[in-house]
Each structure stands twice: as C-alpha cells, then as structure tokens.
Chains A and B, each alone.
Chain A
C-alpha cells in the first residue's frame, strides 16, 4: 500500500490499552503525514500532557499550536468544546465560560452519558470540516487523535449512536448523525489500534476490534504492534547460540567438550584475534543477553501470531527501541518503520 493511500482518510484515531505506547504511535503517524507535506493536527483527548513532552513543546491548549514543522498539537477539552459549540450554535460563549469553572459539565454529562464524548467528537468533526472558531489556525489535511484508552474507546465512539437513538428530531439529532456519518465512513475516518506483543494487550485488542466492528459499525484500519524485538540471528546462528549456552559442542560420536569450556574458549579466542580481551563474565553477559532476546522474541512471536490470526487488518510491527525515554529522534525512527511497513501491506 502506498503511504498516501494509508493517509487518505482525514481523521486517524489511534487507540489502545494504557501503557502500550499509543501516544508515541499517534505522534509517529503525524510525522509520517507531515513528511508528505500535509498539515497535521495532532490532538490529545484526555489531557495526559505526554504529547507536548514528546515534541519538547510547552503544554497544549484548545487552540492548535505548531509543535514541529507541519505538526500542530492541541488538547480537546470537553468544556472548551462545549463553550465553542454554544458560541457557534447559540452565541452563548460568555455564559458557557462561567460553567466551565464549575462541575457543571460533569453533572450534565453524568445525566446524559456520552455527551462529553460527543463534544470531543464534535470538535473533531469541526476540524475535519475545515471549520474553526476563527483563531487563524491552518486548514488541516490530517487529524490524528490520540484517543482515550481502549476500555473507554467503545463508549467514546458509540456516543453519537446513543444520542441519535434517543432523539427523534431536532438540531442535535441532525448533528449526531453527522458525527456517525464521519465515523462510519472508511474514506473519512480510520481507527488504528496499538498493542504490545503480550498476552493481555493482544486479547484486549482482539476484543476491541471485534466490538468496534459489531457494536459500533466501525472497521479498524491497522493494528500497530509496538516494541517488537528485531530479529538478530540467522537460524544457524540461533542454533549456535543454543550450543554455546549449553556449553556443549555436538561433535557427533567424538563426544562433547566439558560444560562451560566451549563458550569461553571459542568466543574468547575470536575476541583475542581482533585484540579484544573478554573475561568469563563478559562471555556470560553477551550470551545472557542473546538468550534473553531469543526468549522474549519467542514469547512475542506467539502473541503476534495470535494477533495476526485474530484480526483481518494488517498488523504493523514497530521495533523495540533501545532507549527508555522517548524523544523526537525516536519518534522519527518509528515514523521510518511505519512508512516501510505500510508499503509492505
């Protein structure tokens, strides 16, 4: 698939269980789009504040701000969305501001669950329609939404359906139908799920994808499997690592070398030949990490298999980054990975 084709729907909603790196993937997707000359709005919804940190930008407000060339960040706050809605629909901005300082939105959204979600989705629709409240922001070609965690995702996306069912007529009914139209149209909106190649995240992703399709009527676009350890060894090398770890060389009938002798002597000799002095702790360490990598890769492979088997969508594998604190260069690396993987779909 061409990357431009992948970016065809204007609204890209990125969701997943907490801790799987959905904010990182959303940011990387935004970079991919920006690299292709698109003006991107990267929106966070639940005020986590981790987006601006990735871009080393100050905290985000309701008005989009450019965080890196072509990528504008914003925070969709339901209260602010309500104020904007009231302003545009009913010219009531001043009074609505008074309520945002109280718990008012909390009460009303408790009484009518999903209203908060509708306010957020309404703002996304506004952006998709290329409208704004006159703040002089650019026209956005792509809107990437760092959506709420998967558990809340279903209620988030199905909120307009609930409202439409409840209301037979009127302006609000019409507006919620607009939102449904946007969400259910794969040419306008795509939901991408992010997961980790681990037991719980994979089962939850499969459940979410299924529920989105059957309960909400939205197909997911792609599933991003994050932090996949890259393949390092050829099959022959893997076997050799196994032999070295066992400390035994299979010499057929000739017998085996004593335990522990083989890895030490073999690898030390190779190292010495290039002027590198390794002691037995070093040998233990390099072999230990090789074993760790292979063991984790085996675990990941079984979950990836289950994931690929369970979803109809392409699974995009993103590499484990050997860095604990993510920053812009890491996001760029992930963006590279996304581009390559999309082209292979």
Chain B
C-alpha cells in the first residue's frame, strides 16, 4: 500500500517536516485534499501566510480559524469530494494569548501579561515561539475533535529539528534561574528593590541598562513576575503535546528534495524521530528529475560526426547531450538519496517528480495529490 494512503487511513494527525524550500506546505495541502476526496473532514494548518495556497484553494486569505474550501472548487476540477477540506494559518499571537488566558490565575493577571511589552515582543522574536504555538494549535484542534484528520506543515526553521525541542525550550526559558537572578533588582518582590550582591552582575546590569534602557528590564521583570505560578500549567501542556506527538494517532511525514543539504537534513530528522520515539509515517521526495531510463553510451567521435551532419543529425547530437546531462543529475540525485535509504526503507518513500506544470492552482494541487497517493486520477 502507498505509505501516504496508509497513514491517511489510520492517523488523525500528520506533521510534515523538512528544510526550507522543499515543498512542505504544498505537500501538507495535497495530503489534506486527498483525504477530503476520500471522505474525511480534513484540515491543513500552515505556518506561513501561504497566499498562493490560499488562492489555489479559492480562499482570499487563510485565517487563524479553519475555513472550508468550497465544494465548487472540487466540482470545477471534475472531482467529487466525499468529505470536507478546511484550511487555516497559524496565528502565533492569538494562540499565545489563549495559552496565557488558560493558565493565568485571574483574568486581570492574564490581561497584565498580554499588555506587557516584553510579552508582545516574544511572539515575534523569541526563537521557538512559533514552533511552540504551532504544536499548541495542533493540540487544541485535535482536542476539540472537530476534524478526522489534521495536516500541519512545520515552521521554516533553520533546522527542521528545532520544533521538536520548542516546547521544552520555551518552558526552560520561562523558568530560568539565571534570568530571575539578573532581574531581581527589578522584581518588586516583598517590597523594595533587592540588592544584587554580585559585583560582576551589578556592573553587567549597568551596561545592559545603558544599552537597552531601564524600561526594558522593568517590563521583563514584570512579565516574569506575572508568570509566577503558571509554569506548572505550561509544563503540563508541553507534556500533553509531546504525548500526542508520540501517540498512535500521529504520523510524521519527512519532506525533502534530492538536493544534498535537504537530504542531510531529512536523514538527521528521520534519526531524530526514531530517538524521540516519534512515529515516522512516510518520506516524500519532491522535485525529483524524471528518470527516463539508462544513460545512452555515446562516443565523442559519434557525437562530433552528428554535429557535423544535417539538421536532424545536429538535433540528435543536442538531444543526446541533453539526455546525458539529465541522466547525470538523476544519478547524482540517486546518490544523495541513497544515504536516506539506509535510514528509511524505500517502501516508505513517495517520489513526486518535477511536473511539467506548476502546482499553482487547484488542478495543480490535485495532480500533486495523485502523485503522493499513487492514484492516476489526473493523468
């Protein structure tokens, strides 16, 4: 059975991961699309604004809540969808706000945190926030139970592994002793400003203050002060998210291209999934050059004779040259992919070749689905 079809049939959550530019978003959307055709109520959650995806789904833009793709989209492509396709985009800020509201001991304290400047900066700048919130939103959607299948693409991190550690990194960040130690003079605990005994720290703070200003430090201290007592909630949630990702309901789809960097990343990622006991589902190799057979052995002498010949002979010389160049790429791509075969058995692979048309519209997306699932609906 085709590995993608298999996990779509069995799983509730599919996480697409891989390095930047390998087609994660398109892959995620194409999987959800096929699931909808087969009768599932499916949603694709993207991390990027993905305007092109929105327009190819006939949506003006993706919002932070699921929007249903019109059935007309399917009928206009002569397809009957037995289920539903929904799409949404991660709204980091509003997801984070919800988390704060859930764990704050009082609405007043939640409001204080949400209005804090340091907090407002976090969503944009702190590494890992987006990843953390992506997992949070996924968990929320899954817990709500409104969908049969959730397909999510992962943030365009420098490193595809980053998001796996995100929840832990965030909770570590909030809990750091070092930070509290530094901010102590600004934390109005027990009234009055505490003295920093350490001379080095005092000097350092003076410098930091000069660079970023007192306000920034006060905002930071206020934020962490208000966060007191919420850590346990955060940590519990991080554990719940981890449990969902490790459960039988989830499958990871590793997306790659045959380029060396992407393959290296995918190989590491597959290994990491294994170590973290996260369920691997399938490997998608996008943008593969078509393999049209064995390289033709042409002697230079034969080639130069053709080049000196008539129109069709000259053309044949170019055709053979071109075939040779592409076969070289195909072989190099295979060599890159071979290292992945040691990690992921080939029967878990799905290859999506470079198509002669782009997946820029709905029919394009449908043809990607067909390749992913090994169906020939669009051929």
* Chain A residues engaging chain B, CB cutoff 8 angstroms: 17-20, 46-48, 50, 86, 90, 92, 95-96, 98-99, 102-104, 106-115, 149, 151, 166-167, 170-172, 198-201, 203, 232-233, 236-237, 240-241, 266-267, 270-271, 273-276, 278, 281-282, 284-293, 295-296, 299, 322-326
Contact = CB atoms under 8 A, between A and B. Distances in A.
B243 interface: no
B230 interface: no
A270 B121 CA distance: 69
Given A273-B309, A290-B322, A324-B335, A110 B360 contact: no
A324 B259 contact: yes
Nearest to A233: B318
A292 B118 contact: no
Contact of A324 (B319, B329, B357): B329
Nearest to A50: B261
**Secondary structure of the A contact surface, majority rule:** helix
A289 B210 CA distance: 63
**Secondary structure of the B contact surface, majority rule:** helix
Contacts of A113: 121, 124-125
Interface stretch (B89-97, B212-220, B244-252, B367-375): B212-220
| B126, B257, B299: most-surrounded residue (chain A CB, <10 A) | B126
Interface of B: 19-22, 51-52, 118, 121-122, 124-127, 156, 158, 172-173, 176, 178-179, 182, 200, 203-204, 207-208, 210-213, 216-217, 219-220, 257-262, 289-290, 292-293, 296, 298-299, 302, 305-306, 309-316, 318-323, 325-326, 328-329, 332-333, 335-336, 354, 356-358, 360
Nearest to A166: B213
A241 B208 CA distance: 68
A285 B19 contact: no
Contacts of A289: 290, 292, 319, 322-323, 326
Given A111-B216, A237-B318, A241-B319, 19 more contacts: A17-B20, A18-B20, A18-B156, A103-B179, A104-B179, A110-B126, A111-B217, A112-B212, A113-B121, A166-B213, A170-B210, A171-B210, A200-B52, A201-B21, A270-B313, A271-B316, A274-B313, A290-B319, A291-B356
Nearest to B325: A322
A48 B158 contact: yes
B309 A292 contact: no
Nearest to B257: A19
Contacts, number: 189
A139 to B, nearest CB: 29
A113 to B, nearest CB: 4
Contact of B292 (A86, A198, A288): A288
Contacts of A107: 173, 176, 179, 182, 220
Contact of B19 (A19, A111, A203): A19
A99 B325 contact: no
Given A90-B207, A104-B178, A111-B212, A288 B316 contact: no
Contact of A106 (B21, B126, B182, B311): B126
B292 A274 contact: no
List of 8 A-B pairs having minimum Cβ-Cβ separation, nearest first: A19-B21, A18-B20, A324-B332, A295-B356, A286-B319, A285-B292, A113-B125, A112-B212
11 contacts: A18-B156, A50-B261, A92-B203, A95-B200, A151-B156, A199-B52, A200-B52, A273-B309, A274-B302, A278-B296, A324-B258
Contacts of B259: 19, 324
A323 B327 CA distance: 10
B173 A103 contact: yes
A292 B326 contact: yes
B176 A270 contact: no
A286 B99 CA distance: 58
Nearest to B177: A102
A235 to B, nearest CB: 12
A273 B302 CA distance: 9
B315 to A, nearest CB: 5
Nearest to B307: A274
Contacts of A109: 125
A276 B333 contact: no
Contacts of A96: 204
A326 B260 contact: yes
A344 to B, nearest CB: 24
A241 B315 contact: yes
A267 B220 contact: no
Contacts of A48: 158
B341 to A, nearest CB: 15
B23 to A, nearest CB: 9
B207 A92 contact: yes
A325 B207 CA distance: 47
Contact of A103 (B122, B176, B258, B310): B176
